Structure 1
Amino acid sequence: MAVRSDADPARWRRRFIVWLDGIEKGWGVPLLLACFVAVWTTYLAIAYWGSGLHPDVLETWTLGRWLEWGYPKHPPLMGWIARGWTSLFPLTDWSLQLMAMVNAAVALWVIDRIAARFVAGEKRVVIQLLLMLLPVYQFHAQRFNANSVLLAIWPIATYCFLRSFEERSLRWAAATGVSTALAMLGKYYSVFLIASLALAALLHPARRRYFLSPVPWVSAAAGLATLSPHLHWLATTGAEPFNHALAHARASFLIAITEVYFFLTGLAAALASSAVAWLFIAGYRLKRLPEQFRNMDSGLWLLVLVSCGTIALPVVTSLAIGTDLPSLWALQGLFLFVLPVVCCTDYAISRFHTVNLAVLAGSIALIATVVAAPVHALYRNANGYEEGRNLYRPAALELTRRWRAMTGTPLQAVSGDDALAFATAFYSPDHPYYVRPFAYQHSWKIPRKTILERGWAALCFADQLECVAWLRDTAQHVEDSVQPSFEVQAELLGRPGVKRTIIALLVPPQAEPVPAPSNSSENFSAIRRSAK
């Protein structure tokens, strides 16, 4: 069937064949990625219509409102990216949804640059389509946080390392150091990528030529130079992100074994859809896979060693020190398993199979956008989310309205339940600053006097008992405060949805009102210092 189709393709297939001819001409992959971004951004806009952004995305934007070399919970890369993006695009849901999909598309484009070093034409696009079948580049990517920010930076670091190892170029060596340092600035889990790169270089047959050249030392120097401001920040601020990371450690050995089991099975499940699709393409030729691995290109073998390291090293670490090990921490490295399997094939892939795979990936995306997204939006409007995200916007607007009616000034500072506070900062037209210090997120402290004097508001859902008790305790320490409660309701296309009650605390300015701070890091740093 494949032979007949390639010899005399059906009319509807001929447009796909024109597109496949454009792969090596340079426009085929960019067109595919542009369609990927357009369709999946549309999906997110429809599926979450009437809902707020995920709390992780709102937290990322909140962190990015000031540029520092580190934040108490996470390294700074995700905040930097969000700050840069929102400097160019408006503060809207679709804008940050677009940012997430562009991040995924950049990851796929860099992976194609790696694939182009080993294969051409159909095999390059098959790799792209197999990765698009994974839930990683749509659903994991849309929650832009410290995990999904690695989707693009891991392929970039891998590509730079591959070039530096094969070419022993000082330029690519420096790029490797900078990109791996950026990966660490994304999330400290990237230490496993760096260790895997070093381990792969040690185990590779060409290790002698690599380590006798200046390349690895240039990479190390460039990486340390890039990381040095963050390392200085850690040394002078108490290394709070390390404390946050260590909170995932010190579990029992039995728990660690369970974590490893779910880590491995979770990654296998994430790869399942692509594995089944590849099974249909390769068919009986899968039995040649061991031979193809033995005859694998030197660069591909390097990628195989890196992929093994990114799985083995976290597993060994988890068993040794008893850490949490969710599989989502490693999703950004799944491309390292798809690439070698496709690139090592010594046979041509029929255009019949390639077109079928493109139709499959496109059909899933279109059905998700046209059918699943509206159903999801309607369901969530009626049933809500556990975190209450489809009530974020009405809560923020109502709090702002009450604040302005009481004080006549813009709302400058907000805290309370973290997700509601992040959402109020984002959705309120005043864009107040989140002023609860991240270091105290898991303890409920009375705000400092200077914060209260400036004017401050906080809010919780009525069923968040610890947060509500904190509001009432705070109200007892503040004169002239107002503690209203109000009901907010979700709405989608005029259709009323779920309701919840908000408990708020409004503390008007105690002295001459100060101007609302701009988005400058200096003004926000002053508020943060007074919050502490």
Structure 2
Amino acid sequence: MRDLLILAPLRSVRTLLVRWLDKIETGWSIPIFLIGFVGLAALGFSVAYVHGMHMDILEAWAVGRTFDWGFWKHPPLMGWVAHLWTDVFPLTDWSFRLLAMVNAGLALFAVDLLARRFMQGDKRAVILLLLLLTPVYLFHAEKYNANSIMLAVWPFATYCFLRSFEERTAGWAAAAGFLCALAMLGKYYSIFLIIGFVAAAFLHPDRKRYLLSRAPWISVACGLIGIAPHVYWLAQNDFLPFQYAVHTHIARDGNQSLRDAALFAVTNIAYLLFPVISLCVMLRSHLREWGRNLKELPSGLFLLLLVFAASILMPIVMVVGVGSDLPATWHFQGLFLVILILVGALRFEIPRRETVNLATMVGGLFLCAVLASPLHALYRNAHPNQSGRDFYRGAALELASAWREAYGVPLARVSGDDGLAFATEFYSPDHPLYGRSFAFAALPADGTFAKGWSALCFAGEPRCDAWMAEIARKVPGTRRWTFPVTLSLWGVTGATREIAAIMVGPSATPGSPDGPKRLDDVGARRRGP
């Protein structure tokens, strides 16, 4: 009787999965799958990271506050999307969790759009399920930033390029060009995707028909038109993102660059191991036939293979040549091509029971992760991330309260540790503008203090302490103090971390009747010097 009670729900699940697979070509199976994925993932991350968001997400909103053609650190696409998102959704943690997962769901939809060109039915589902066995569309996607925004842009651009190469029509050629420009507006690393397109166009056996058509010229023209406003912005702003890139990523010694290149390759391979092994298990009785299929790829898949090979090999060559670093996260958005090629090459049907088993495993792992999210939240309450992200919201709200109590006017500018500064910009009711941190400027520029300025760092950070001390010495009316931020979750008191703060009141207030209301009390109440 006990076995029947256990097996009955499993049989019901398997029956439901079979019906879901049957409706892939004729129904809404894939859209329902993607909507469920987005909703459950957003819920799980909202609970797991209940204390606050990653610095990159806060930065994306800060970038998008001004709808401009550039930002001193990154191209503008992630900011544009965040800006448009907050025109519809509220400025809350849960809405940005939803944005991150909608971006991941859109990326999977784009991959499925490509998959439809080569396969039908179960194989489309297998590709999406295998991709969810990588951390890319969950844990990488959760940190909405200039890297994760490429999850959707790269497959859409690849789809347009494939259609342009095969059909050579003006419409698809223009779409490919504009999508390449959009990819560059997301992250300059996308130049390697474009190199992949160029290499594939020249190396493919059918290259003559494409290269002698008008399609490549239309793509080039549309790409240049799409990127031109950003190039103009770069010229008007001293190419600031390139200065940041050189300062942050260039000038590594040769041995370090070689290690980075090797780690880049190994990490990307490691991310593919679990799905590739799972696929091998599914096809265990057809491995030889699968091998023969891979040697005889159809034209479209061979084109995608060339795109992937060129796009992943060129950055490895570059990092060694110019002496830069190469984080593996920069190429995660291109890994879908490997799974697409491996499954698309199959000229035989995958046994239905194997697809059902894969769906059961992926669904079980996903649901376990969602159900475990409260446990993760409790763990982080007592053992916070080393980055300090769990303390961002508390520190930002404490500074906002201290500023209002001291000066009674909105805080205009905030700087210091990037994560804490972006958090203050996001969580403070005043939404002060971010100023570049101590890592990039000895002192804030002239005029920064006029309307009021403040900064936060984690206590004990030597460079920031020295930076704050220099400001306190040179700027009249400066106030420095430290205060603790203690985590609390569902009535459980958690870890504590000290925050160092500095405030410079608006230039009109010090010594005037409308000056600080209770500046001395702020330091006393918050453990000031």
TM-score, normalised with respect to structure 1? 0.91
Instruction: Tell me if structure 2 keeps the 8 A contact 1:384–1:390.
Output: yes
Q: Which residue of 1 aligns with 2:3?
A: none
Correspondence 1:294 to 2:295 = yes
Change (3 A) 1:405 1:290: same
Aligned equivalents of 1:109, 1:205: Cα separation in 2: 29
Change (3 A) 1:26 1:244: farther
Judge which range, 254-263 or 419-428, deviates more.
Answer: 254-263
Change (3 A) 1:11 1:493: closer
Correspondence 1:496 to 2:497 = no
Q: Which residue of 2 aligns with 1:303?
A: 304
Q: Which residue of 2 aligns with 1:117?
A: 117
Q: Which residue of 2 aligns with 1:151?
A: 151
Aligned equivalents of 1:444, 1:214: Cα separation in 2: 49
Instruction: Tell me if structure 2 keeps the 8 A contact 1:57–1:145.
Output: yes
Aligned equivalents of 2:12, 2:85: Cα separation in 1: 42
Instruction: Tell me if structure 2 keeps the 8 A contact 1:444–1:470.
Output: no
Q: Which residue of 2 aligns with 1:529?
A: none
Change (3 A) 1:351 1:311: same
Q: Which residue of 1 aligns with 2:59?
A: 59
The match for 1:450 among 444, 447, 458 is 447
**1:424-435, aligned counterparts within 5 Å?**
424-434=424-434
SS at match of 2:159: helix
Q: Which residue of 2 aligns with 1:466?
A: 463
Correspondence 1:87 to 2:87 = yes
Aligned residue identity for 1:189:
Y
Aligned equivalents of 1:207, 1:167: Cα separation in 2: 12
**1:167-316, aligned counterparts within 5 Å?**
167-247=167-247, 248-316=249-317
Change (3 A) 1:183 1:482: same
- The Cα shift of 1:322 comes to 2.4
Aligned residue identity for 1:171:
G
Aligned residue identity for 1:54:
H
Aligned equivalents of 1:323, 1:450: Cα separation in 2: 36
Change (3 A) 1:486 1:346: same
Change (3 A) 1:417 1:254: closer
Aligned equivalents of 2:224, 2:170: Cα separation in 1: 16
Aligned residue identity for 1:267:
N
Instruction: Tell me if structure 1 keeps the 8 A contact 2:417–2:438.
Output: no
Change (3 A) 1:376 1:204: same
Correspondence 1:19 to 2:20 = yes
Q: Which residue of 2 aligns with 1:364?
A: 365
Change (3 A) 1:298 1:448: closer
Aligned residue identity for 2:359:
A
Q: Which residue of 2 aligns with 1:517?
A: none
SS at match of 1:230: helix
SS at match of 2:478: coil
Judge which range, 176-185 or 444-453, deviates more.
Answer: 444-453
- The Cα shift of 1:228 comes to 0.4
Aligned residue identity for 2:493:
P
- The Cα shift of 1:329 comes to 1.0
- The Cα shift of 1:512 comes to 7.3
Change (3 A) 1:246 1:482: closer
SS at match of 1:205: coil
Judge which range, 286-295 or 407-416, deviates more.
Answer: 286-295
Change (3 A) 1:95 1:73: same
Instruction: Tell me if structure 2 keeps the 8 A contact 1:60–1:144.
Output: yes
Aligned equivalents of 2:241, 2:323: Cα separation in 1: 19
Judge which range, 451-460 or 195-204, deviates more.
Answer: 451-460
Aligned residue identity for 1:506:
M
SS at match of 2:346: coil
Aligned equivalents of 1:23, 1:311: Cα separation in 2: 32
The match for 1:480 among 469, 477, 480 is 477
Aligned equivalents of 2:93, 2:34: Cα separation in 1: 21
- The Cα shift of 1:485 comes to 2.3
Q: Deviations over 1:145-194 (max 9, x none)?
A: 11111101000100000011111111000000000111111111111100
Q: Which residue of 2 aligns with 1:530?
A: none
Aligned equivalents of 2:261, 2:411: Cα separation in 1: 47
Aligned equivalents of 1:395, 1:230: Cα separation in 2: 35
TM-score, normalised with respect to structure 2? 0.91
Identity of aligned residues (%): 47
- The Cα shift of 1:441 comes to 5.1
Q: Deviations over 1:21-77 (max 9, x none)?
A: 22102401001101111121111011101x221111111111111121111111111
- The Cα shift of 1:293 comes to 2.5
Instruction: Tell me if structure 2 keeps the 8 A contact 1:129–1:357.
Output: yes
Aligned equivalents of 1:96, 1:424: Cα separation in 2: 16
SS at match of 1:468: helix
Q: Deviations over 1:107-161 (max 9, x none)?
A: 1001101100110000011001001111000000111111111101000100000
Aligned equivalents of 1:505, 1:384: Cα separation in 2: 24
Aligned residue identity for 1:261:
A
Judge which range, 489-498 or 244-253, deviates more.
Answer: 244-253
Higher relative contact order (CA 8 A, sep 6+): 1
Judge which range, 314-323 or 300-309, deviates more.
Answer: 314-323
**1:122-141, aligned counterparts within 5 Å?**
122-141=122-141
Q: Which residue of 1 aligns with 2:521?
A: none
SS at match of 2:457: strand
Aligned equivalents of 1:441, 1:28: Cα separation in 2: 51
Q: Which residue of 1 aligns with 2:525?
A: none
Q: Which residue of 2 aligns with 1:5?
A: none
- The Cα shift of 1:11 comes to 4.5
Change (3 A) 1:419 1:35: same
SS at match of 2:430: coil
Q: Which residue of 2 aligns with 1:4?
A: none
Gaps of 5+ in 1: 1-8, 514-532
Q: Deviations over 1:189-228 (max 9, x none)?
A: 1111000111011111110000111000000000000000
Change (3 A) 1:22 1:260: same
Aligned equivalents of 2:264, 2:282: Cα separation in 1: 28
Correspondence 1:77 to 2:74 = no
Instruction: Tell me if structure 1 keeps the 8 A contact 2:297–2:345.
Output: yes
Aligned equivalents of 2:411, 2:356: Cα separation in 1: 55
SS at match of 1:238: coil
- The Cα shift of 1:12 comes to 3.8
